[in-house]
């Protein structure tokens, strides 16, 4: 039976996908601006931020309406709960894109660096994770979501390497301290984006398979009723 409620769920998903694509575009622009030293791309991130915030509120309202009026259960309930968390996650990723864009602009005022250390690798991996998380949501593919979870360690390792390498850079040339701080800031923001991508992937697994995988809950048997 094709019900009105199903159309509303589809609409919610569509608007979340729209938000996801803007957020992904913003992260891509912020990172490309870093790699290319492109100021106009960095500025675009600030312009898009307002659209993300507006969509977050729109999605929040849609979710409140669905919960209040439809009393969803089972997979519908899990979808709406996942959508609420993903909405919040996407908005946070949007904030990290802004942080990175701010660092981009600060770096543009400084002498270009010979190397961005591990950042190019982090950029590639973070973008793959974010795209994987969003695609797993669009396709409702828990296997794809699982792959995202398994990639997170790479980003954590790269982030740690970044810290070590920036410290070495500063030891060699203390005049580059401001530049080093911006690189650390970008690295941390990328690590957070990757973490949030894993949250989205965890929500996809919760929605599609009714499994709680965050905080290794299954292994620790934190879930009593499943």
Partner 1 sequence: MRDYPGTRQTFIEMDTIPENGKGIPVDHNKIVAEKVSAFFGKVQAIRDIQINIPENSIVAIIGPSGCGKSTFLRSINRMHELIHGTRVTGKILLDGEDVYSLDPVLIRKKIGMVFQKPNPFPTMSIFDNVAAGLRMGGTHDRKNIAEVVERSLQQAALWSEVKDSLSKSGVGLSGGQQQRLCIARALAVNPEVLLMDEPASALDPIATAKIEELLFELKKRYTIVIVTHNMQQAARVSDYTAFFYMGELIEYDITKKIFTAPSIKQTEDYVTGRFG
Q: List interacting residues with partner 1 (CB under 8 A).
A: 1, 3, 5-6, 9-10, 13-14, 17, 21-22, 24-25, 71-79, 138-140, 142, 208-210, 225-226
Nearer to partner 1, 22 or 162 (CB): 22
Helix-strand-coil percent breakdown of the chain, rounded to 5? 85, 0, 15
Q: Kindly state the smallest distance separating residue 138's Cβ from partner 1, in Å.
A: 6
Tokens of 152: 């997170």
Nearer to partner 1, 48 or 99 (CB): 48
- Report the nearest approach of partner 1 to the CB of residue 96 (Å): 18
* Distance in Å, CB of 162 to partner 1, minimum: 27
The two tokens of residue 106 are 């600060």
Question: Can you say whether residue 207 is alpha, beta or left, with left for phi > 0 and alpha for psi between -120 and 50 degrees?
Answer: alpha
Smallest gap from Cβ 73 to partner 1, in A, equals: 4
* Residue 17 vs 64, nearer CB to partner 1: 17
Burial of 100: CB neighbours in 10 Å, binned 0-12, 13-18, 19+: buried
What's 111's DSSP letter? P
CA 81 to chain centre: 18
Which is nearer to partner 1, 141 or 165 (by Cβ)? 141
User: How far apart (Å, rounded) are the C-alpha atoms in residues 60 and 188?
Assistant: 28
């Amino acid at each position: 039976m094709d019900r009105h409620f199903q159309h509303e769920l589809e609409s919610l998903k569509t608007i979340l996908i729209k938000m996801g694509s803007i957020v992904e575009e913003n992260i891509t622009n912020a990172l490309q601006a870093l790699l290319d030293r492109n100021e106009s791309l960095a500025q675009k991130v600030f312009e898009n931020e307002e659209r993300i915030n507006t969509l977050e509120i729109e999605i929040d309202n849609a979710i409140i309406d669905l919960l209040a009026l439809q009393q969803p259960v089972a997979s519908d309930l899990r979808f709406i709960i996942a959508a609420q968390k993903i909405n919040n996650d996407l908005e946070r990723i949007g904030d990290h894109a802004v942080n990175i864009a701010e660092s981009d602009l600060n770096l543009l005022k400084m002498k270009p660096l010979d190397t961005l250390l591990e950042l190019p690798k982090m950029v590639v991996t973070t973008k793959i994770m974010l795209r994987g998380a969003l695609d797993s949501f669009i396709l409702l593919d828990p296997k794809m979501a699982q792959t995202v979870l398994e990639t997170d360690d790479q980003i954590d390792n790269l982030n740690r390497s970044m810290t070590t390498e920036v410290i070495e850079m500063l030891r060699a040339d203390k005049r580059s301290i401001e530049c080093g701080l911006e690189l650390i800031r970008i690295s941390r923001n990328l690590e957070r984006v990757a973490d949030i991508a894993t949250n989205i992937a965890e929500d996809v697994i919760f929605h599609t398979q009714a499994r709680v995988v965050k905080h290794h809950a299954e292994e620790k048997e934190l879930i009593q009723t499943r």
